[in-house]
Amino acid sequence: MSKRYYVRNTVVPFEEDFTHEFKGHRNICVEDLPPWTQESKTEKASRRAVSRVLNAFLNTGKGGTVYLGVIDSGCVKGLQLSAYQKMHVIDAVNDVLSRYIPPVKNHRYSIKFVPVYESDEDSNTSTSKGLDDGFDSELAGRAHDLQGHKYCWCDRDAVMQYNAGIMLQDYVIEIKVKPWDSDDPLNHDDGCGTMVNLHPIHDDEEGNCYFRRQASNVQYTMTELARLTKHEVEVTCQEKIASLKREIAHLQKIKQESIS
């Protein structure tokens, strides 16, 4: 199986749409956003937390992937990460999704770090550092400073490595929200209703609720949520009724054939 990778400054073969979102940063939750990127009386926000699109992917029920290290145009830039910074990203994603209401279970999403190279040739000759290269297991057990825009200890360690001439690998971070599967036993405790088992609706860490609409995230009000839920219940029930009617018709046909 060939390894997957990205080539720097190339454009990915898809655009931002219903299930794809690009981010050039790794500010996972709203607390991670530096003050100068947030909305003020005179300026619009120049950056949005990754959490908002994760919330939208979950609430739409169809899933999706956010690509960190890919800018809005689809151009691959990558994010330079040490092994400790990768652990920070994982902890940050787990933390923010655990603060959703209701919390998001781990099986509903995944996080992958896909390496970025300068060219296809470099991907064949690269000897990128593995997890154990220069990895201090005792240091790895240290808690990360989450929910803040200031440098964590892992960021300061990465700067020290850079100053010492140690080049870290660049990555695109793929955070994938899986589509809602009503038949998955792991989802049975989370579904809304015993008959239709609709996907749950989550509030994010700010108490907001977003849905994915084409390539954007739209905040919904309680009235809009009630209308949407009613529509989804009606559609799902109609599908189940149609399925039951087909099954009854099939059984009746079998009965008639057995009689004749």
Query: Same domain for 101 and 230?
Result: no
pLDDT tens-digit readout, 99-118: 999 999 999 999 999 999 99
Query: Domain residues for 100?
Result: 6-220
Dmax over CA atoms of the chain, in Å, equals 88
Query: Same domain for 26 and 76?
Result: yes
In a domain, 1, yes or no: no
Cis peptide leading into residue 35 (ω within 30°): no
Query: Same domain for 228 and 206?
Result: no
pLDDT tens-digit readout, 150-167: 999 999 999 999 999 999
Query: Same domain for 159 and 230?
Result: no
Exposure string (b/e) for 13-27, b if CB count within 10 Å is 16 or more? eeebebbbbbbbbbb
Q: So what's the pLDDT on residue 131?
A: 43
Query: Same domain for 132 and 240?
Result: no
In a domain, 227, yes or no: yes
In a domain, 111, yes or no: yes
Cβ 149 vs Cβ 35: under 8 Å: yes
Query: Same domain for 33 and 11?
Result: yes
Query: Same domain for 63 and 123?
Result: yes
Cβ 142 vs Cβ 153: under 8 Å: yes
Question: How far is the C-alpha of 7 from the C-alpha of 167, rounded, in Å?
Answer: 17
pLDDT in tens, the chain (260 residues): 568 999 999 999 999 999 999 999 999 999 999 999 887 767 788 899 999 999 999 999 999 999 999 999 999 999 999 999 999 999 999 999 999 999 999 999 999 999 999 998 787 776 554 444 567 888 888 999 999 999 999 999 999 999 999 999 999 999 999 999 988 989 877 755 545 557 889 999 999 999 999 999 999 886 676 666 666 656 666 777 787 788 888 888 887 878 76
Q: So what's the pLDDT on residue 248?
A: 86
pTM of the model: 0.82
The SS3 call for residue 20 is strand
Query: Same domain for 133 and 13?
Result: yes
* Count of structural domains within the chain: 2
pLDDT tens-digit readout, 57-84: 999 999 999 999 999 999 999 999 999 9
Query: Same domain for 141 and 210?
Result: yes
Query: Same domain for 105 and 140?
Result: yes
Question: How far is the C-alpha of 60 from the C-alpha of 214, rounded, in Å?
Answer: 11
Query: Same domain for 206 and 229?
Result: no
